[in-house]
Amino acid sequence: MDKNMTLEKRIAAELYSYQGKMSVFVDDLHGHTVEIGADEEFETASTIKAYILAALYLQASRGKASLEEKITYKPEHFVDGSGMLRALGVGASLKVKDAATMMIICSDNIATNMVIDYLGLDTINACIREMGFAHTVLHNPLHFDIYNDLGTTTPRDYASLFAQVAKGTLVSAEASAEMLAIFRQQHYNTMLTHDFPQFYLDCEETGEPELIWVASKSGSMNACRNDGGIVHTPYGEYVIVLMNKDFHDIIEYNDHPSMVYGARVSRMILDQILACEGELYK
């Protein structure tokens, strides 16, 4: 019996009533994967920010960028959407690393434009290609009134980024550790964690050891709902990416069908990993 097809068929059955398209990539980091539409192209939305972070650390490792350099919020960086920099106003000055951190943890769009401006669009795309993400492109800065597209990626590319972070091989072990720490602070992980046992996610409230944590970056636009990252369990880590498109409801809310069905698939994978003590299959 093909065990991989068994799990894929369980996911397909879960998604049978979902009026949209979900692609899935899971890597248990032990040589087993689940791949459903893994090479399908998706609008990135804010998941492109993870690639921008990686490009920043690659350039910093070469001395072509500095995490400590100050950059300034200029009028041309303004964009609507998520983030906190709008509250500070034009002229705010931040270290590059601080802007990049805000770009990830609260998905700050203005901070993202500041980092894109600092590195350069062509440089970011060259770094993305060099790091092996052959099907990922940052098309434009974030200006939704000017550009229709932000970026393009695939579940396989996005999973590869997080797998390299988990293994300590994205740029370097030190850079991977710093990026992991940033991804762990990311606020918007409802699709991955909504159906997880909350007791194990909130050690500050329960006083119990933090047995499960997530390091991730999500992204939502009218055309897509994406999430992906590293899930830590008592048996180690695994990587999961869920990307959605072709749904009918473009409004963003936590009970959006893509979030509901994504959370069910994410919990199914968690249960499988726990049952097999850190692997997808035994």
- Model pLDDT for residues 172-190, shown as the tens digit of each residue: 999 999 999 999 999 999 9
Q: Please give the mean pLDDT across all residues of the chain.
A: 93
Instruction: Say which residue, 108 or 204, is predicted with more confidence.
Output: 108
Closest CA to 189 of 157, 214, 172, 154: 214
Q: Where are the domain boundaries for CATH 3.40.710.10 in the chain?
A: 1-40+154-281, 42-133
Q: For the segment 14-66, what is each residue's pLDDT rounded down to a tens digit?
A: 999 999 999 999 999 999 999 999 999 999 999 999 999 999 999 999 999 99
Query: How much is the average pLDDT of 145-169?
Result: 93
With bands split at pLDDT 50, 70 and 90, how would you rate the model's confidence at 4?
A: low
Query: How much is the average pLDDT of 244-258?
Result: 92
pLDDT at residue 203, rounded to an integer: 63
Say if residue 54 is exposed, middle or buried (CB neighbours under 10 Å; 0-12, 13-18, 19+).
buried
- pTM (predicted TM-score): 0.94
**What b-and-e string marks burial along 9-42, b requiring 16 or more CB atoms within 10 Å of the CB?**
eebeeebeebebbbbbbbbbbeebbbbbbbebbb
Query: How much is the average pLDDT of 196-216?
Result: 80
Closest CA to 229 of 279, 175, 188: 188
Instruction: Say which residue, 151 or 207, is predicted with more confidence.
Output: 151
- Is the predicted pLDDT of residue 227 greater than 90, yes or no? yes
- SS3 for the chain is CCHHHHHHHHHHHHCCCCCCEEEEEEECCCCCEEEECCCCCEECHHHHHHHHHHHHHHHHHCCCCCCCCEEECCHHHCCCCCCCHHHHCCCCEEEHHHHHHHHHHCCCHHHHHHHHHHHCHHHHHHHHHHCCCCCCEECCCCCCCCCCCCEEECHHHHHHHHHHHHHCCCCCHHHHHHHHHHHHCCCCCHHHHCCCCHHHCCHHHHCCCCCCEEEECCEEECCEEEEEEEEEECCEEEEEEEEEECCCCCCCCCCCHHHHHHHHHHHHHHHHHHHCCCCCCC
With bands split at pLDDT 50, 70 and 90, how would you rate the model's confidence at 265?
A: very high
- Would you say domain 1-40+154-281 falls under CATH 1.10.10.60? no
Report the DSSP beta bridge partners of residue 33.
Answer: 27
Fold of 42-133: Beta-lactamase (3.40.710)
Closest CA to 278 of 35, 38, 32: 32
Report the DSSP beta bridge partners of residue 231.
Answer: 214, 238
- Is the predicted pLDDT of residue 3 greater than 70, yes or no? no
Report the DSSP beta bridge partners of residue 94.
Answer: 71
CA-only gyration radius of the chain, Å: 18
pLDDT at residue 1, rounded to an integer: 45
The owner of tokens 């991955």 is 192
